[in-house]
Amino acid sequence: MPLEPLLPLFHRLNREHFDGQLTRDDRPLVDVRWSDGRLTRTAGFYRRGRDLCEIVLSRPLLEPLPRQATLGTLCHEMIHAWVDRVLVVREVHGPHFRARMAAINQAQDGFEVSLRHRYPLPVVASRWIACCPCCGSRTPYQRRRQGLACRHCCERLHGGRWDASCLLVFEPNTA
Ligand SMILES: [Zn+2]
Ligand SMILES: [Zn+2]
């Protein structure tokens, strides 16, 4: 899904599943934004800072996925915000969180809120391809390495010993 502005989604979910409690005078109680390209350890998080509460969704993880993944993740983080800011209860995925999650999942079937954000990491394109001059094998590498020989050929041709004739040649991956 191409990046979609999050604020309209936030307002819609707030109306439909939080009785409008996550806004005051139409202004969100939390900031909502997309991450930069580096947030890959989680699909999203909610955090309360000293003077700012925010929900951040992972651009690299969610962008390639269908829209339901963004809705489910945003809604998950909105439940955290609701427990924290509206109920003012300290819990992570405790009973309040779970009850609201179950109610939202029951009320609609456009997306699903789950306890964990289980999304596959997008495959990162490798920067280099290591080519073996003997057998022609091509192996992706993130980093260029010095003195690396083709293991297959060293075993096949040199009794398992490293041999300069099997040194891998690194080429930039243009794919
Ligand atoms: Zn959570
Ligand atoms: Zn080889």
Å from CA of 110 to ligand 2 middle: 50
Segment 36-58, tens digit of pLDDT: 888 888 899 999 988 889 999 99
- Shared-domain flag, residues 89 and 143: no
Residues 101 and 152 placed together within one structural domain of the fold: no
- For 80-137, write each residue's pLDDT tens digit: 999 999 999 999 899 999 999 999 999 999 999 998 876 655 556 678 889 999 888 8
Structure tokens at 139: 């192996």
DSSP 10-64: HHHHHHHHSTTTTEETTEESSEEEE--TT--S-SEEEEE-SS-EEEEE-HHHHTT
For residue 59 the two structure tokens come to 């651009």
User: Does residue 114 belong to any structural domain of this protein?
Assistant: no
Using the mean position of ligand 2's atoms as its centre, give its distance from the Cα of residue 126 in Å. Answer: 19
Are residues 164 and 82 part of one domain? Answer: no
- Let me know whether 98 and 22 are in one domain: yes
Where in the sequence is the domain holding 148, given as residue range(s)? 128-172
* Coil, helix or strand at residue 74: helix
Residues 99 and 134 in one domain: no
The SS3 call for residue 64 is coil
- Pair (93, 149) in one structural domain: no
Percent of the chain with pLDDT over 90: 62
Q: Any idea which residue has 């996925």 for tokens?
A: 65
| Ligand nearest to C-alpha 77 | 1
Nearest bound ligand to the CA of residue 163: 2
Residue 86 Cα to ligand 2 middle (Å): 62
Residues 102 and 161 in one domain: no
